[in-house]
Amino acid sequence: MIKNQWYVVLGSNEVKRKPVGVTRLNEKLVFYRDTKGKVHCLKDRCVHRGVSLSLGEVCGDDLICPFHGFEYDHTGKVKVIPAYGRNYQVPDRYKVVSYETYESHGYIFIYYGSRPDSEPSYFTDLEGFTYSEMSEVWSVHYSRAIENQLDVVHVPFVHHNTIGKGKKYVVDGPLIQWLDEEKFEFYVYNRIEDGTIAKKPSDMRPPDPEKDFRLAFKFPNLWQNYIDDKIRITAAFVPIDEDHTKIYLRFYQCFLKVPLLSVLVNELAMIFNRKVLHQDRRVVLSQVPKKSMLKMSDILIQGDLPILTYRKRRDQLLKLGENHEIQ
C-alpha cells in the first residue's frame, strides 16, 4: 500500500457508536464514534493480550477492551487499567497505533501514515448532485480494479451490449492531463474503424473540458467518470488486503431535483451501472497476477496510456514511502 496517503475506507453510514471491526490496507482496524460523532480508528488488537478491541464497547469518548477492561482514548493510549485502579499512571508503552480520520461526502477517510499535512479532498464539482450507491467485494488487488477503470480499450468488447454499443474499436490518444500531484484526467476518443490507424496523443487537438467526455483518477483510490455536466459516476477502490478490494460505486445526477423522483431515477440508474460493473468483474477476476506493478510481463499498447501513467506514479509513491514507519 502507498503510505502517507488519505484513503477512503468506509461509507459514513457503516460506523455508528458501536465499534466496527474491518480489514483495510492489510490491517485489522476498529472504528467508532465519540460523543460528538467524530469517527476514530485504532488497530484492532489490545496491547495486553491481543484480543480484538472491536468486540468491546464505547464509553464516553473511549473504547473499552472486552477482555480486561483496558480503556483506550482516540490516540490509542491506554488511560485506565482497571486491575491497577483508576488512579494508576499508565506507562506510555501501553498504546496501539491510531490513524487520523476525516469524514466528507458520505465517506470515511484514514491517513495511512503518521500525521497528515492537510485534509483529504473529494471531487470538488458535485455540489447540488444527488446519488445512489452500491458496494461489493472483488477478490483482486485494488490496483487491478483501478486499472480496469483506466482502460479505454476494453469498452466495446466487455460492454458490447451496454456502454460499448457502436463498435467504436479504434482509440485515438488518449490524452492525459495532470491537474496536480495526485490527480490526472484523460480524454477518450473511441471511433469506428475507417481504415486509418489510431492517432498519437501528439496529433490530437487540445481537449475541451466543457464538451469532451473525460475520466479522472485521484490517488490513491478515487475515480470519476465525467459523462456530462449533469451526470457523473464515481468509484472508491478500497484495499482490504493483497487479494481483496471493496468497491463503492456511485451514480450522481443533478438534472432531476424532485426528492422522491430523484431517488427513483438514481436507483434505476444504479441497476444499469451494476450490470456494467459485473461485466468488468467477470474479466478482471481472471487477470494474473492479481496485483499490478510498473514492471510486469504484460505488453501495453498506446491505448493503455492511462494505465501506464497510473503505474508510474504509483511506483514513485511506493518508493517514497518505503522507509516510512507508521507510529
5 closest CA partner among 291, 288, 239, 219: 219
Q: Which amino acid is at 48?
A: H
- Across residues 37-55, what is the average pLDDT? 98
Mean pLDDT throughout 28-36? 98
Q: Cα angle at 54 between 48 and 59, to 5 degrees?
A: 85
Domain boundaries, the chain: 6-111, 130-320
- The span from the CA of 240 to the CA of 26, in Å, is 6
> Within the chain, where are the H helices?
142-150, 155-158, 259-284, 305-320
Q: Which three cell numbers stand for residue 166?
A: 457502436
Q: Identify which of 193, 220, 275 has the alpha carbon closest to the alpha carbon of residue 24.
A: 220
CA neighbor of 54 nearest in space, from 77, 16, 21, 26:
21
pLDDT at 200: 96
Looking at every residue in the chain, the average pLDDT score rounds to 95
Query: How many CA atoms does the CB half-sphere of 41 hold within 13 Å?
Result: 24
CA Rg value for the chain = 22
pLDDT at 279 over 90: yes
What is the distance between the alpha carbons of residues 277 and 284, in angstroms, rounded to a whole number? Answer: 10
Residue type for position 323:
N
42-52 mean pLDDT: 97
pLDDT of residue 5: 96
**More confident call, 222 vs 259:** 222
Give the span between the Cα atoms of 303 and 172, in whole angstroms: 8
Percentage of residues of the chain with pLDDT beyond 70: 98
Mean pLDDT on 207-224: 92
In this structure, CATH architecture of domain 6-111: 3-layer Sandwich (2.102)
Phi, psi angles (nearest 5°) of residue 322: -55, -40
By mean pLDDT, which of 97-111, 214-228, 312-326 is the weakest? 312-326
Q: Note the pLDDT of residue 324.
A: 63
Residue range 74-100: mean pLDDT, rounded:
97
Contact 140, 245 (CB under 8 A): yes
Q: What's the pLDDT at 60?
A: 96
pLDDT tens figures, 156-214: 999 999 999 999 999 999 999 999 999 999 998 999 999 999 999 999 999 888 788 89
| Overall residue count recorded for the chain in this entry | 327
pLDDT at 327: 55
Predicted confidence (pLDDT) per residue in 290-307, tens digit: 999 999 999 999 999 999
pLDDT score for 322: 80
Which residues are 183's β-sheet partners?
Answer: 218
Q: Is the pLDDT at 23 greater than 60, yes or no?
A: yes
Specify the 3-state DSSP secondary structure of 151: coil
Q: What is the pLDDT of residue 115?
A: 85
CATH of domain 130-320: 3.90.380.10
Q: Which residues contact 295 (CB under 8 A, 6 or more apart)?
A: none
Lowest mean pLDDT among 48-57, 70-79, 199-208: 199-208
Residues 99-134 pLDDT 10s: 999 999 999 999 999 889 899 999 988 999 999 999
Confirm if 1 and 112 have CB atoms less than 8 A apart. yes
In 3D space, the residue among 85, 18, 101 whose CA is nearest the CA of residue 53 turns out to be: 18
Diameter of the chain measured on Cα atoms: 82
In three-state secondary structure terms, 235 is strand
